[in-house]
Amino acid sequence: MTVQVQIEEKLARAIEPLHLEVVNESGNHNVPAGSETHFKVVLVAECFQGERLLARHRRVNAVLADELKGPVHALALHTYTSDEWRARHGDAPMSPPCRGAGDEN
């Protein structure tokens, strides 16, 4: 499993986001090709309601503690409540993260 997928799965389980984007930005840095060391996370979740930015980041960092101790060197966090997201990006519907596309239920 890739580091990116680990991050996506952990955040989806722990925070139940309304919107989640995890972008591997390692290619923008001086690291070997194929590295998974630098990520940008865009996360919209109701659990952020009433939390200051630092508390949101601490929450995400706690979920990803193992990755931050190991393979992840840098993590750019963009955390929003749904109201903040709509104010910033408009009323476009947010899609939940995919959890096993193609699985038969």
Q: Where are the alpha helices (DSSP H) in 1-64?
A: 3-15, 53-63
> What does the radius of gyration of the chain's CA atoms come to, in whole angstroms?
14
Q: Is residue 33 scored above 90 in pLDDT? A: no
Q: How high is the pLDDT of residue 105?
A: 45
d(CA 11, CA 46): 13
pTM of the model: 0.81
Residue 64 CA from chain centroid, whole number: 10
